[in-house]
Structure 1
Amino acid sequence: MSDAYIVSAVRTPVARAFKGGFRNVRPDDLLAHALRTALAEVPDLDPARVEDVIVGCAMPEAEQGMNVARIGALLAGLPDTVPGVTVNRFCSSGLQTIAMAADRIRLNEADVMIAAGTETMTMVPMMGHKVAMNPKVFDDENVAIAYGMGITAEKVARKWSVSRQDQDRFAYGSHQKAIAAIDGGEFTEIRPYTVTSRVPDPKTGQVREIETVVDTDEGPRRDTSPEALGKLRTVFDAKGSVTAATSSQMSDGAGALVLVSERVLKELNLKPLAVFRGFSVAGVPAEIMGIGPIEAIPKVCKQTGISKEELDWIELNEAFAAQALAVMRTVELDPDKVNPLGGAIALGHPLGATGAILAAKLIHGLQRRQQRYGMVTMCIGTGMGAAGIFERA
């Protein structure tokens, strides 16, 4: 089986939903920017050689509907001959696309692929605009598909004995690491996005165009403290422990990666960033969906022959502090290796885009630190987990 080489991995900044820099930016435009800038990293690669654009999106409707992958590709200027497909595995959608693109290459079915993810929770909220769940779901008390994500986090916190204090400390650490990373210029994978707004002059009424550059993740808070976090009320269960501050932020963003075969790598003399080594998914009870990585991580380690001890960097999506801590303790992950630049509690979680965003973050981090193996892993709504392993090239 051939190797799939990642030669470009970029992302937009992650903006806060509803009030952030991307509140008026469409998800297909964010995607187009990610695709365009990803291809710009490999100028010797003719875009017409891209054999498919696979895009993850957790809520593919409205502004994210109509096969956003195809629309984003055309908006990015790719030729009509380049097809596109939208994939949905909720929070792991962006990682799923990388695995699918890599498999096409590893099976010698393609030489050039793009994997990406896009999501704007501002325009298309969690659960979408119309919730039409099958009524049969509610007939069986053991079927927890309809649970809100926060309720599943409360159940994990209780079952795994994750205290409120532990969650607050974890959340504070996420912000501190993210702020240090921003100040240290760590997020080299970010490609700034220029937002053009049309604003009427208050005196003349004449409409002017104003450009604003969004170049930094908006979520991290410099003004937070353990004391401030400790004063917040719980939001999902009055007698629970999960707060808004120990939950991932609602966000807008996109990311994209270009993958090629060894044949194209040598033909164009491209410099690879990483090699995709393997991917796994697993199912768990929906009511404790946050523990999905507990099953997915050992599975991908066995598949690839790469032990968790060999991993230098682990991007564990922080859907909630409760589930992240439960996963880390159960799988016995080294805390120093997990989310060294902060996670979704500070940086945000734009659902279907997150897998691509975390992969770009990881790949550039491995390059900067000259580390070998990295993993992206996350829980998935309705009770699943996913994990993918990358090796620095």
Structure 2
Amino acid sequence: MTTLQQAYIVAAKRSPIGKAPRGMLSHTRPDDLLATVIRGALAQTPTLDPAAIEDAIVGCAIPEGPQGLNVARKGVLLAGLPDSVAGVTVNRFCASSLTTIAMAADRIRVGEADVLLAAGTESMSLVPTMGVSTSFSPAIFDGDENLGIAYGMGLTAEQVATRWKVSREDQDAFALRSHQRAVAAQDAGEFSDEILPVEVTRRLPDLAAAAQSGAADVLVAQRRFTLDEGPRRDTNAEALAKLKPVFAMRGSVTAGNSSQTSDGAGALLVVSERALKTHNLTPLARFVSFAVKGVPPEIMGIGPKEAIPHALKLAGLTLDQMGWIELNEAFAAQSLAVIRELGLNEDIVNPLGGAIALGHPLGATGAIRAATVIHGIRRRNLQYGMLTMCVGTGMGAAGIFERM
């Protein structure tokens, strides 16, 4: 019988999150951004020869257009890694890059690899949320059985709010707290360990020069992007209460209590114990367990309620052993429903704010928030942290990390 190895995280870096469609990263290609965070992760491990990386597993929720054509392999090559480093793109919607971490850990545990890259990238500015050419099977609309597959995410949040009796007032209060925590975290420098500053280049027409010479001159502007754009210092309960529902006429889900459309990328290096010794690497965390469970598509937001207990069972741990829970805030409605169903301690859920304030670049969110958990439990000397999220078409995913 093969003895399973442990899987360790030795690097975890992410870009700042840009607002879509007109934020700092709105003109940055997702394959270029992926290459940037890959280089950032490698810079954390100077003793590791990049040629030792055996594969790159990259999450992307809408792998089309500039993030299509196997964006994983493109990102690897653009990052300057050796041709020997392969790449594969994985799509599990919002849990895409949490799944890539789990897949990398699995291969290491069974001895198939010693050094793997797990990452995610998403540009919601350059690729529409529903993709370039969305197509549903006509069978989905034959009766009500599978109709939830075609529900927009906002409508599923309305379904959860109704079934779990989550009020508009509670959703808005949750959203406000997300912004307040995120702003406080930025002010305290809580994200400095995980964020990789990104140099953003913009090419704009030089109208003044063109007026004089008639030539189509271009201005090249460069800016250093260092902080997530989403958190709002000026938001308050009154402003949130004025927003109208956007998914149902008499609903409670608004733009203010929903996650922001965003652009971003994150990358982690996952290695075996053998690789730690061979390459003189220091582990940040151990990947403990992963679980994914399905729920009815029309209430997809409740997915973490099913995934969290299973991840805990696989780890042989209990909920009260978690020191940090990163619950992706797709919507305040589903976040509160999960918190109440499982009795989660709200003090440790998203202590630095969540996607309502920080943003949610779909397939990149797992890698981004994993970096938050890993650096967070190290900074606060906590033993275990969990990352969990709901997933489109009715799923929930959860992964557990242990500080080393």
Instruction: Kindly state the Cα deviation for residue 306 of structure 1 after the two structures are TM-superposed.
Output: 1.1
Structure 1: which amino acid aligns with 2:71?
V
The residue aligned with 1:192 is 197
Partner residue, 2:376:
365
> Which runs of at least 4 in structure 1 moved beyond 3 Å after TM superposition?
none
Task: Kindly provide the amino acid, as one letter, of the partner of residue 205 in structure 2.
Answer: P
Taking the TM superposition and a 5 Å limit, the aligned residue runs for 1:344-355 are 344-355=355-366
Paired position in structure 2 for 1:179: 183
Partner Cα separation in structure 2 for residue 11 and residue 226 of structure 1: 31
Identify unmatched segments of 5+ residues in structure 1: none
2:11 aligned residue (3, 8, 11) = 8
Aligned residues: 393
Are positions 1:245 and 2:256 aligned together? yes
* 1:1-393 correspondence to structure 2 within 5 Å: 1-143=4-146, 144-187=148-191, 188-205=193-210, 206-393=217-404
- After the TM superposition, which of the residue ranges 279-288 and 191-200 deviates more from structure 2? 191-200
Offset, 1:141: 1.0
SS of structure 2 residue aligned to 1:208: strand
What is the CA deviation profile of residues 282-304 of structure 1, one whole-angstrom value per residue up to 9, with x for unaligned ones?
Answer: 00000000000000000011111
Q: Which amino acid aligns with 1:254?
A: A
Give the letter for the 2:164 counterpart: W
Deviation at 1:267, TM superposition (A): 2.1
- After TM superposition, the score normalised by the length of structure 2 is 0.96
Amino acid at match of 2:179: H
SS of 2:387 mapped into structure 1: strand
For 2:218 and 2:241, the matched residues in 1 are separated by 46
Partners of 2:224 and 2:334 in 1: how far apart? 34
What secondary structure, in the 3-state scheme, does the structure 1 residue paired with 2:166 have?
coil
Q: Counterparts of 1:285 and 1:368 in 2: how far apart (Å)?
A: 38
State how far apart, in whole Å, the 2-side matches of 1:4 and 1:276 are. 6
Q: Secondary structure at the match of 2:368?
A: helix
Counterpart-to-counterpart distance in 2, 1:96 and 1:216? 26
Shift of 1:207: 2.0
Match of 2:213 in 1: none
- Three-state SS of the structure 2 residue aligned to 1:110 is coil
* Secondary structure of 2:291's aligned partner: strand
Q: CA–CA distance in 2 between the matches of 1:124 and 1:102?
A: 29
Q: TM-score, normalised by structure 1?
A: 0.99
Deviation, 1:209, is: 1.6
State the alpha-carbon separation in 1 of the partners of residues 162 and 209 from structure 2.
60
Cα distance per residue 1:135-193 (max 9 Å; x no partner): 11111212110001111100100100100000000000000000000000000200011
Greater shift, 259-268 or 29-38, is seen at 259-268
